[in-house]
Amino acid sequence: MSERISESVSQQVDEIYRLESRRVFASLVRLLGDFDLAEEALHEAFTAAVEQWQRDGIPDNPVSWLVSAGRFKAIDTIRRRTRYDRSQEELTTRLEGIAEANAEKSDTEVEDDRLRLIFTCCHPAIAAQIQVPLTLREVCGLTTEEIASAFLTSPSTMAQRIVRGKAKIREAGIPYVIPTRADLPERLDAVLTVIYLVFNEGYSASSGDSLTRQDLSEEAIRLGRLLVELLPDAEALGLLALMLLQESRREARATSMGELILLEDQDRRLWDQAKIREGISLVERAIATGEVGGYTVQAAIASEHARVNSSEQTDWSKIVSWYDLLFQINSSPIIELNRAVAVAMRDGAAIGLDLVDAILTRGELTEYHLAHAARADFFRRLGRRAEARDAYERAIGLTNQTAERRFLELRLQEHVNAGLSDSE
């Protein structure tokens, strides 16, 4: 085989790993019943793929091939271990039985394995503060640093939580199954939170060179659809609506060079109207149930932006009203910050600045770059140049996302240049 073909196959395997490895991992966890064994089998399967696919070509269903290869690699691993540990014999027998029983239906079960694993990680036996980080790490493949950023905590603290969660699943023998319909409601909040955080990381990556990670956004929407089919709860509808409405703006959120474009400056002709129609329909269904929760309210806010053709037509009073309701449901300082920005659009930058300063005075969001970016914009609009410059510099120093940092640096430079022009 030529080096060119070999390199092409290796690149395709790398792409499959990036897009599909966590699906393969979820299926292996179902089949093997062990996180660490599944992780080991996953990497062995991809190693085998690089060698065999270069010789035989990439199979029609690479995910199914990888699941099957990983399963048998794990069986081989357990067989080797039984030579030294007789207690593993029963597990080996069980895995061999699973391999045969699942040979024909493995293709159909792969699709919902990730949702199954999410419910496992969100089992009530696992501490609430561990459920979501564990799922984000093991099911969705986010790094510990990315998860820590989403929770505004340190990577070391987050790593400890994830280790404890895996140990709890193993020690308590928590099953890898989707719960019965009767048991779904008590698990729903954590599952919705997981899907929402996965989408957020895809919609606005917490770090790195890329503004977004479309693979994560698409996976979150797919899981949201599966959940709605499983349980058409109002909040499940609201979350799916929110994700579709946010995702509808993807093509307009950055320039061809990857530079960030704010909502007010986006070319709305690039917005995906099919996603908007579906999202608005879903949020209206959710509101009609009379059980309006946080995701439904956020979807309603997003729908207000999607219904108009320009930022000037935005009904900021209605958006502020939705934020008032959202803050009653969840008094998060980030929601309070977003409400302050909406109030500033309705009532002026000075009032918005007072609201943001009140949050920071309480010691909340002091390390959150968007709080300082909002202050910088308010100061700029108020003509308070020195304070605007300081706030921009503070926001830049706290930003881990490359595109956001470039955007803030550009705004700061424009601000400085404007000041120089005024002084001439």
Query: For the chain, what is the domain count?
Result: 2
If one counts every other C-beta atom within 10 angstroms of the C-beta of residue 248, the result is: 23
pLDDT value for 254: 84
The domain boundary residue, chosen from 104, 120, 142: 104
- Determine, yes or no, domain membership for 314: no
**Per-position DSSP letters for 284-352, written without gaps between them:** HHHHHTT---HHHHHHHHHHHHHTSSSGGG--HHHHHHHHHHHHHH---HHHHHHHHHHHHHHH-HHHH
The CATH number assigned to the domain holding 27 equals: 1.10.1740
Residue 400: domain span = 347-424
Instruction: Work out the angle at residue 199's Cα, subtended by the Cα atoms of residues 194 and 205, and round it to the nearest 5 degrees.
Output: 115
- Determine, yes or no, domain membership for 150: no
- Determine, yes or no, domain membership for 204: no
In whole angstroms, give the CA distance from residue 387 to residue 377.
Answer: 10
- Determine, yes or no, domain membership for 97: yes
pLDDT value for 408: 93
The domain boundary residue, chosen from 49, 76, 104: 104
pLDDT band at 3 (very low <50, low <70, confident <90, very high): low
Report whether pLDDT(110) > 60: no
The domain boundary residue, chosen from 47, 73, 104: 104
- Determine, yes or no, domain membership for 273: no
Query: Are the C-beta atoms of 150 and 144 separated by less than 8 Å?
Result: no
In whole angstroms, give the CA distance from residue 371 to residue 337.
Answer: 7
pLDDT band at 106 (very low <50, low <70, confident <90, very high): very low
- Determine, yes or no, domain membership for 379: yes
pLDDT value for 205: 56
Which residue is listed with tokens 């395997």? 13
pLDDT tens digits along 146-205:
888 777 788 999 999 999 998 898 888 888 777 776 777 777 888 898 888 888 877 775
- Determine, yes or no, domain membership for 156: no
- Determine, yes or no, domain membership for 354: yes
Rounded mean pLDDT, 102-123 = 67
pTM of the shown model: 0.74
The CATH number assigned to the domain holding 413 equals: 1.25.40
